[in-house]
Amino acid sequence: MSIPDSNRLERLSGMLKRRGIILPAFEIHGGSKGLYDFGPVGGRLRNRVNQNWIDHWTSMGNITEISCPTVTPFEVLEASGHVGEFSDFMVDCIACGEASRADTLLEDFHSNPDALSKSDLQELFSKHNPKCPSCDSSDWSDITAQNLMFNTTIGAGKSGRQGFLRPETAQGMFTSFQTLYRHNRERLPFGAIQVGKGYRNEISPRQGMIRLREFNMAELEYFIDPEEDSNHDFSKWNISLFKLIPEDGKEISISLEKAVNNGIIRDSTVGFFMGLTYDFLIKVGINPDKLRFRQHESDEMAHYAMDCWDVEIHGSYGWVECVGIAHRGCYDLEAHEKYTGKTLRARREFSEPRNIDIDHWTIDGSVAGPAFRSLAGAVKSAVENLSIDTEFPCHIQLDSGESVTVEPQHIKRNQRTEVVTGEWFIPHVVEPAFGIDRIIWHILDHAYDEVSKGDDLYTVLRLNQSIAPVDYCVFPLFEKDGMGEIAKSINTNLCSKLGIISMYDSSGSIGRRYARADEIGVPFCITVDHQSLEDNTVTLRDRDTGQQKRVSIDSL
């Protein structure tokens, strides 16, 4: 029987810490808010979730993994808009010096303070003058916008340049577009994925793994031609209804295909990735009943986004956004193109060649060349931009600021029909972005099962086998009579198999050892007993059913 309880979160966090799954980092040095360790059990859980995520996408055949630096030059994040806009509003307590987010302090006085402008926040703040959560004083600095990127300097001395720790992995994929396009033999659609650290220098982190200063994230950028039909097949999701909260806020249960066809999901590629995201989350152990998709309202969505859905997962902290699936249009590539002057485009061939009429002025090189010498190139560009109605002689100003007079003998009219077979365009991007730590938190939260055994609370972590951090535990009933040797040898053999982790445990009763294994979600326990000495068999116990069967050692 499962026991609902208000202290469940505390017991779960305690277990995660005690058993080396997830724990506050650098604790012997006093710790540091918003920084967590994956311990000797959690380390492999994290790795397996990451690898599952990578395999999930690369199995599509047109998605490849890349890996870019976390230290990022100023220019990249200025181009992306993060230098200007990636900030929260902060207030400093004058009494104790503690910094707080202004919107968080106003949660009791407004339904959505996160959406307020700086001046509206300041007005509300002055009206209610909340207390400092750290010292209870109400003496505050003015509200300031605080950029949330970790700042650093690349290089030393006078040649040092400003840089940041990346706030997301996405920018490295946009700046790699040309390489990706070449790798994919210049054919859309294709995707790039990246798994790695992201950083957000939160003003005041709370809620454990939900709001971290350094986090594990995994993003996919899927580049598409907006004029090409996507033709996604939704039929495999028709067996289940998806819980959606469209922009109007009213939850519905509907098949994915219907939601796309009805226009509730505005773009079919977004819908397709909602389906694939659902598949991934179920595969790693998220409870499908605790998962819903929420559409961003238009004032919540970035101005360039064409549609955006969050995957929210329910757990000890309520509904938490764990994945965002956004149609970002051509915003990102265009931003880097404008900033750098480099071309970040794909080519689209027309189904039939098109005739394009060309009619403009250009220079007659044999006359204009000697006349304008080193300026001839600039004159040519300027002349070719003149209206066909221009009369010569004509004074024109070059980009360099100089003025020249163009005489009739310098020019000629270029009038012809050209056959064009295609055009260059900026691809659109659909971006599913996953917060791996939040997903791992909810995997653990959903798997954590407390059952009463007599007067005791017995806990089992019902993790899926594909992500369980320890695959087997091997116990000798006693260490004497050679049982210890056999158990150790089974353990060594299991560990030597690729991708298998086994632990040897010989202390305490078998019941206690089962309990220790169940607590960290080991799917199978193997016990070596007296019979093993006689017939080379062991008992294999299943975590979830508790059932034991005797199997030959050689079959393990």
Among 1, 2, 4, 29, contact with a second copy (rule: CB under 8 A) = 29
233 binds a second copy (CB under 8 A): no
Residue from 150, 304, 392, 478 in contact with a second copy (CB under 8 A): 150
- The encoded tokens of residue 48 equal 């397996």
CB 190 within 8 A of CB 220: no
Is there binding between residue 72 and a second copy (CB under 8 A)? yes
CB of 97 to a second copy, least distance (A): 4
Q: In what order do the strands lie in the sheet with 161-165?
A: 71-73, 161-165, 151-154
**Cβ pair 267, 307 in contact under 8 A:** yes
In the complex, what is the shortest distance from the CB of residue 450 to a second copy, in angstroms, rounded to a whole number? 22
Q: 286-315: which residues touch a second copy (CB under 8 A)?
A: none
- Sign of the Cα torsion 246, 251, 255, 258 reads negative
Find the shortest distance in angstroms from Cβ 183 to a second copy: 4
Query: Total number of residues binding a second copy (CB under 8 A)?
Result: 102
Largest CA distance in the chain: 110
Q: How far is the CB of 438 from a second copy (least distance, A)?
A: 16
Query: Tokens 């079959």, residue?
Result: 555
Residue 104 makes CB contacts below 8 A (sequence gap 6+) with 113, 204
> Is 195 or 311 the residue whose CB approaches a second copy more closely?
195
Give Cβ neighbours of residue 272 (< 8 Å, ≥ 6 apart). 230, 232, 234
Phi, psi of 551, deg, nearest 5 = -130, 160
* Of residues 85-114, those binding a second copy (CB under 8 A): 90, 92, 97-99
Taking CB under 8 A as the rule, does residue 73 contact a second copy? yes
Of 406 and 473, the one with the shorter C-beta distance to a second copy is 473
Which position among 15, 16, 41, 335 is part of the footprint of a second copy (CB under 8 A)? 41
528 is an interface residue for a second copy by CB under 8 A: no
Is there binding between residue 84 and a second copy (CB under 8 A)? no
User: HSE-up of 231 (CA within 13 Å, CB side)?
Assistant: 5
Report the residue number, 73 or 377, with the smaller CB distance to a second copy: 73
> Which residues, at least 6 apart from 351, have a Cβ–Cβ distance to it below 8 Å?
none
Find where tokens 């549609």 sit: 307
Cα 383 to Cα 368: distance, rounded to the nearest angstrom: 11
CB of 513 to a second copy, least distance (A): 11
Tokens, residue 81: 């808009």
Q: Build a one-symbol-per-residue string for 201-230: x at contacts with a second copy by CB under 8 A, - elsewhere.
A: xxxx--------xx----------------
Out of 3, 60, 457, 533, name the contact with a second copy by CB under 8 A: 60
Identify residues 472-511 at the interface with a second copy (CB under 8 A).
Answer: 491-492, 495-499, 501-502, 504-505, 507
- Residue 553 binds to a second copy (criterion: CB under 8 A): no
- In single-letter form, the type of residue at position 269 comes to T
Alpha helices by DSSP H, 147-297: 170-175, 177-183, 256-261, 268-283
Q: Where does this chain touch a second copy (CB under 8 A) — which range of 171-179, 306-314, 322-330, 401-409?
A: 171-179
At its nearest, how many Å lie between a second copy and the CB of residue 496? 5
Q: Which of residues 310-369 bind a second copy (CB under 8 A)?
A: 336, 339-340, 342, 344
Contact assessment for residue 91 and residue 118, using Cβ atoms and an 8 Å cutoff: no
Dist CA 298 CA 435 (whole Å):
23
Please list every residue from 6 through 25 that binds a second copy, using CB under 8 A.
18-20, 23, 25
User: Shortest distance, CB of residue 529 to a second copy, whole angstroms?
Assistant: 21
**Terminal-residue alpha carbon distance, the chain:** 32
Q: How many beta carbons lie within 10 A of that of residue 388, not counting itself?
A: 9
- The helix (run of H) or strand (run of E) holding residue 190 is strand 190-199
Site for a second copy contains 402 (CB under 8 A):
no
User: With respect to a second copy, which residue has the nearer C-beta, 79 or 433?
Assistant: 79
Task: Specify burial of residue 397 (Cβ count, 10 A radius: 0-12, 13-18, 19+).
Answer: exposed
Point out which span in 2-10, 40-48, 265-273, 424-432 binds a second copy (CB under 8 A): 40-48
Q: Can you tell me the distance from the alpha carbon of 222 to that of 224, in angstroms, rounded to the nearest whole number? A: 6
424 binds a second copy (CB under 8 A): no
Determine if 36 is a binding residue for a second copy (CB under 8 A): yes
Q: How far is 219 from 149, CA to CA, in rounded Å?
A: 18
CA distance 486 to 475: 10
Contact status: 512 vs a second copy (CB under 8 A): no
Nearer to a second copy, 32 or 287 (CB): 32
Least distance to a second copy, CB of residue 314, Å: 26
Choose between 354 and 497: whose C-beta lies nearer to a second copy: 497
Nearest to 475 by CA among 532, 535, 433: 532
Contact region with a second copy (CB under 8 A), list: 196-204, 393-401, 406-414, 525-533: 196-204
Cα 429 to the center of its chain, rounded Å:
14
Cβ proximity to a second copy: between 163 and 285 the closer is 163
Shortest separation between residue 126's beta carbon and a second copy, angstroms: 19
- Residue 155 makes contact with a second copy by CB under 8 A: yes
Residue of 3, 5, 14, 33 that binds a second copy (CB under 8 A): 33
Residue span binding a second copy (CB under 8 A) among the ranges 55-63, 296-304, 422-430, 542-550: 55-63
